[in-house]
Amino acid sequence: MTEVLPDEALSEREPIGRARSAPSGRAARPRVLFVSHTGTMSGAELVLRDAVQPWTGSTAFLFEDGTLAEALRGQGLEIRLAHRRTALTALRRDASPLSALPLLGRLGALMVEIARAARRCDVVYANSQKAFLLSALAARAVGRPLIWHLHDILDSAHFGRAQRILQVRLANLSAARVIVPSEAAARAFVSAGGRRSLVRVVPNGLDLERDPRPAASLRAELGLPAGPLVGVFSRIAPWKGQDVLIDALATLPGLRCIVVGAPLFGEDSYAAHLRDLAAARGLSDRILFLGQRDDVPRLMQAVDVVVHPSVDPEPFGRTLVEAMLAGVPVIATDTGASAEILDGEATGTLVPPRRPDRLAAALSELLGNPDAYAARTDRARARALSRYGASRMQHDLADLILEAVGRT
């Protein structure tokens, strides 16, 4: 679990800035309205779960019920669920904004609900894209500052042109701050037309307990095979590139692989494609599809190498940091934030995206000379511990929230 940001860190700042009076006459801690459109836990929601830790007593407005609602309730947040639960899955990232027309009634109702909730708070914090689009108008209507935690790379690989334009224009008009997890995401926001002065980079942070047992006992406990074993831990989605790893495996006899994760946002046909591909390459007995797991750190410690094969730019990639903390060598594609996180190749191997041949070569080099990479893996763990902890992220985000409310 993550360390709780001490309440004192915030209360020290309480007398500063715009104040809602507390009974003691001192300024009260601002009340934040956290808004999220999905109840499913992918990286952005895991970040939100950890980010709210210092904000017990604040409110979360969620478009749908689910694991996130449960997690935030557990963190002491008051949960308000949209009257008509919907994750707005019909609104796709690459679709024209006109596809929202049939949903206008529902979107309008959501905005009104967010505005009502926002009126009782000092600042609105929208997590991800859809939550931001609806919160922008709501926050404006009730005169509350708006923070957008943008977890995406706003480029043509991930979003249609009209959506990119809509998002940056709305951000330029209405956001007090746009928080992104990496320089790569910051650059993409600015290239899409976003105002540079709005952007703050707050790298994701997480804590992870390392199991003291050796990989061999973990494997036995987890029912995993002996021998060279590689793992991929991204959710199942075409841009996460699991197919490239399967193609690489086809050229590496004797190497097995675990594919961990599930298609969380409707990518079922890609999940089926991966199984078909494994069968077509004659790899069904060497690739284990483990589905969605809640013991990722332990599984990571049990493999010889973690591969992060995203084919489109990765905004951050918590799994990279998790692998570094687990003390396992990492091979990642050189796109998006990977090079920032791995400090070039100082703490991991970078390969070009969509190149099974290069991935296979990197795997064979690493697995053939494990001792040569031990010091690098230690450096990776030290880097993750010093730069990507949860407490640092919570402090950075709290500073930005207080700044948006005008208290610094």
- Which residue ranges make up the site for ligand UDP (CB under 6 A)? 42-44, 46, 233-235, 260-261, 292-294, 296, 316-319, 322
Residue, CB closest to ligand UDP: 43
Q: Minimum distance from CB of 72 to ligand GLC (Å)?
A: 16
Q: Which does 177 bind (CB under 5 to 8 A by kind): ligand GLC, ligand UDP, none?
A: none
Q: Which does 110 bind (CB under 5 to 8 A by kind): ligand GLC, ligand UDP, none?
A: none
Residues that bind ligand GLC (CB under 6 A): 42-44, 47, 151, 181, 204, 314-318
Q: Which does 113 bind (CB under 5 to 8 A by kind): ligand UDP, ligand GLC, none?
A: none
The DSSP code sequence of 235-296 is -S-GGG-HHHHHHHHTTSTT-EEEEE---TTS-HHHHHHHHHHHHHTT-TTTEEEEES-S-H
Q: Which is nearer to ligand UDP, 208 or 363 (CB)?
A: 208
SS3 for 319?
helix
Q: Which is nearer to ligand GLC, 314 or 340 (CB)?
A: 314
Q: Which is nearer to ligand GLC, 137 or 331 (CB)?
A: 331
Residue, CB closest to ligand GLC: 43
Q: Which is nearer to ligand GLC, 27 or 202 (CB)?
A: 202
Decide: 29 and 21 in contact? Cβ < 8 Å.
Answer: no
Q: Which does 242 bind (CB under 5 to 8 A by kind): ligand UDP, ligand GLC, none?
A: none
Q: Which does 194 bind (CB under 5 to 8 A by kind): ligand GLC, ligand UDP, none?
A: none
Burial 233-251 (b: 16+ CB within 10 A, else e): bbbbbeebbbbbbbbbbbe
Q: How far, CA to CA in Å, does 67 sit from each of 70, 110, 124?
A: 5, 20, 21
Decide: 53 and 394 in contact? Cβ < 8 Å.
Answer: yes
Q: Minimum distance from CB of 151 to ligand UDP (Å)?
A: 7
Q: Which is nearer to ligand GLC, 43 or 231 (CB)?
A: 43
Q: Minimum distance from CB of 310 to ligand GLC (Å)?
A: 8
Q: Minimum distance from CB of 12 to ligand GLC (Å)?
A: 28
Task: Work out whether the CA dihedral 147, 151, 152, 153 comes out positive or negative.
Answer: positive
Q: Which does 181 bind (CB under 5 to 8 A by kind): ligand UDP, ligand GLC, none?
A: ligand GLC
Residue 239 and residue 309: Cα distance in Å, rounded?
A: 9
- Region of 341 on the Ramachandran plot (φ > 0 left; ψ -120 to 50 alpha; else beta): alpha
Q: How far, CA to CA in Å, does 74 sit from each of 295, 301, 378?
A: 20, 28, 34
Q: Which is nearer to ligand UDP, 43 or 356 (CB)?
A: 43
Decide: 284 and 261 in contact? Cβ < 8 Å.
Answer: no
Q: Minimum distance from CB of 321 to ligand UDP (Å)?
A: 8
Q: Which does 132 bind (CB under 5 to 8 A by kind): ligand GLC, ligand UDP, none?
A: none
Q: Which does 126 bind (CB under 5 to 8 A by kind): ligand GLC, ligand UDP, none?
A: none
Helices (H), 296-346: 296-302, 318-326, 338-341
Beta partners for residue 336, in sequence order: 314
Task: Give the closest residue to 133 by CA, choosing from 98, 159, 107.
Answer: 107
Q: Which is nearer to ligand GLC, 231 or 317 (CB)?
A: 317
Q: Which is nearer to ligand GLC, 5 or 47 (CB)?
A: 47
Angle of helix 43-51 relative to helix 318-326, nearest 10 degrees? 70
Q: Which does 184 bind (CB under 5 to 8 A by kind): ligand GLC, ligand UDP, none?
A: none
Q: Minimum distance from CB of 231 to ligand GLC (Å)?
A: 18
Residue 207 and residue 391: Cα distance in Å, rounded?
A: 8
Task: Give the closest residue to 307 by CA, choosing from 265, 344, 348.
Answer: 348
Q: Which is nearer to ligand GLC, 30 or 203 (CB)?
A: 203
Q: Minimum distance from CB of 89 to ligand GLC (Å)?
A: 16
Q: Minimum distance from CB of 308 to ligand GLC (Å)?
A: 10
SS3 for 341?
helix
Work out whether strand 123-127 and strand 146-149 pair parallel, antiparallel, or are unpaired: parallel
The sheet carrying 123-127 orders its strands as: 78-81, 59-62, 32-36, 123-127, 146-149, 177-180, 199-201
Q: Minimum distance from CB of 14 to ligand GLC (Å)?
A: 29
